[in-house]
Every structure is written in structure tokens, then in C-alpha cells.
């Protein structure tokens, strides 16, 4: 398990009688994501599953020390770099599965230009943060489908899902969010176990063993279509611009990351 927080050890111990190894990393820092991926790859002889479930909704713009919008880094670029570091290990452990957690919020992104959107760090209001969050999730869907095209499905499958509404503290930056979460928990609204179910199914269900490039709903694993802007050829081309697109971000951002790392 890869965790970020002040008390990562609190996630450790044993689950169902089995030990859980904790790797501490900030996925908002690409150098940290890369380091964690390399440590995990070196630690284990095989890797059967990778679930990218990190998520952040920043209601005001925050910029990382690497010069990236924190929400973009945590939701998309960090998992991208982590996956890059683990792809060879997953391929060597075939059959393996990658599951990326997207969101229905991807529909809030009315336009998408990955080469530009990945580099934007201009201030935003609380209202403006929603389509920005949606763009990070739309890029996750687009990346999932592009990665699925690049990888041998007999070795590694790649799918993503919309886990639905889950009261997991994603909006913790908002005033009064703690009270709201207690109310939701009391009313049993947004139970995270429901959102986790589709992730577990994509990881373990034999029905998905040969499925790759899919986007699925928490509602009965119903197949979903990538929102319209992500199907636009120019935008899709920005994700899969060259044969290395499944392993690295678009050109100008590659230069920037390399310079800062």
C-alpha cells in the first residue's frame, strides 16, 4: 500500500491475517512517485495488481515545488509516473491488472487540451475548481484507454471506473465538511464500500480477465463511454502523440519535469 499522510504506519499491521507493507510517498511530487515505484518494483519478485486510487479536490489553486498544479499532479501525473515505474514488473508478472479510479466529474470538463492543461497553474475560485478536477479525471480515462492500446492485453489489462459518490473526505478543504461527513455517515449516504466494490471486481473478477481499455460504473459494472471532449481526435492525439506516450507526459511537460528532477 502506498500512502501519504502524517501517520502512514496507522494503515499498516495486518488485514485478514496478512501483513500489509506501507510505502510512504507524496504523489503530488513526481520524483516521490517515481522513487516509490522503483522501491516497490525492487521489493517484490512479482506484482499482480496496481490500483491508482489517489484523489484530491483542491478548491483553490496550490502549486507543488515542482511547479505543477497539485490537483493535476496527485490525480493524474503522480499515478502516471508511478505506473510507468511499475509497468515492466507488471508485464513480467503476467497476467496482471491495472485499475485507475476516475470519476463522473469527468463530464464537468467541457474542453480538454492535455499539453496545455497539464501546465496550468493559474488561480481558480471554488466554482472554477470543479471543471479543473473534472479534467484530471477525464485525462485519467483517456490515459487508461491509451495505455490499454499500448500494452499487450495477454500480459497486462488496464481499466478505469467511476466509483460514484463516496463520503471519503475528498472535500475536506471546505468549511463545515467534517460536520457534513458525519451527517452522511449517519444517514449511510456515500458508503465507500459501494465505491470499493467496482474496484475489487475489476481487480479480481474472472469476467474482466480479458477486458482492457474499459470505463465502468459502480452501478452494476455498467460500461461507460469516455466523455465527449476526451474522444475528440486532437485531444486523444495529445495523449498518444508517439510510441512513448504510454510512458511519459506530453513534450513540453517532459522537458520541465526533467529539468526539475
Which positions are annotated as active-site residues?
Answer: 133
Residue 116 φ/ψ, nearest 5 degrees: -90, -45
Bridge-based pairing of strands 215-217 and 23-24 is unpaired
CA 238 to CA 115: how far, in whole Å?
A: 7
Q: Which residue has the cell 463522473?
A: 104
Distance CA(222)–CA(175), nearest Å, equals 35
- Computed over its alpha carbons, how large is the radius of gyration of the chain? 18
Cell of residue 154, nine digits: 495477454
Across the beta sheet with 49-52, the strand order is 49-52, 96-101, 156-162, 215-217
Cβ neighbours for 130, distance < 8 A, ≥ 6 positions apart: 105, 108
Amino acid at each position: 500500500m502506498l500512502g501519504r499522510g502524517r501517520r502512514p504506519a496507522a494503515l499498516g499491521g495486518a488485514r485478514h491475517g496478512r501483513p500489509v507493507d506501507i510505502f510512504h510517498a507524496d504523489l503530488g511530487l513526481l520524483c516521490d512517485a517515481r522513487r516509490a515505484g522503483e522501491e516497490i518494483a525492487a521489493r517484490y519478485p512479482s506484482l499482480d495488481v496496481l490500483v491508482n486510487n489517489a484523489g484530491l479536490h483542491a478548491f483553490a489553486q496550490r502549486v507543488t515545488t515542482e511547479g505543477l498544479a497539485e490537483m493535476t499532479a496527485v490525480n493524474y501525473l503522480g499515478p502516471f509516473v508511478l505506473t510507468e515505474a511499475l509497468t515492466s514488473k507488471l508485464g513480467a508478472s503476467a497476467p496482471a491488472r491495472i485499475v485507475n479510479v476516475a470519476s463522473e466529474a469527468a463530464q464537468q470538463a467541457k474542453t480538454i487540451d492535455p499539453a496545455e492543461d497539464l501546465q496550468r497553474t493559474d488561480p481558480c475560485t471554488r466554482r472554477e475548481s470543479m471543471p479543473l478536477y473534472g479534467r484530471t479525471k477525464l485525462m485519467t480515462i483517456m490515459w487508461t484507454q491509451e495505455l490499454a492500446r499500448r500494452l499487450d492485453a495477454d500480459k497486462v489489462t488496464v481499466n478505469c471506473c467511476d466509483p460514484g459518490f463516496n463520503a471519503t473526505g475528498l472535500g475536506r478543504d471546505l468549511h463545515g465538511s467534517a460536520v457534513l461527513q458525519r451527517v452522511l455517515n449517519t444517514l449511510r449516504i456515500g458508503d465507500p464500500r459501494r465505491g470499493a466494490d467496482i474496484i475489487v471486481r475489476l481487480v479480481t473478477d474472472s469476467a474482466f480477465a480479458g477486458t482492457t481499455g474499459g470505463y465502468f460504473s459502480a452501478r452494476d459494472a455498467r460500461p461507460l463511454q469516455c466523455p465527449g471532449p476526451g474522444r475528440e481526435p486532437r485531444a486523444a492525439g495529445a495523449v498518444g502523440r508517439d510510441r512513448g506516450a504510454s510512458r511519459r507526459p506530453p513534450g513540453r511537460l517532459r522537458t520541465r519535469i526533467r529539468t526539475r528532477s
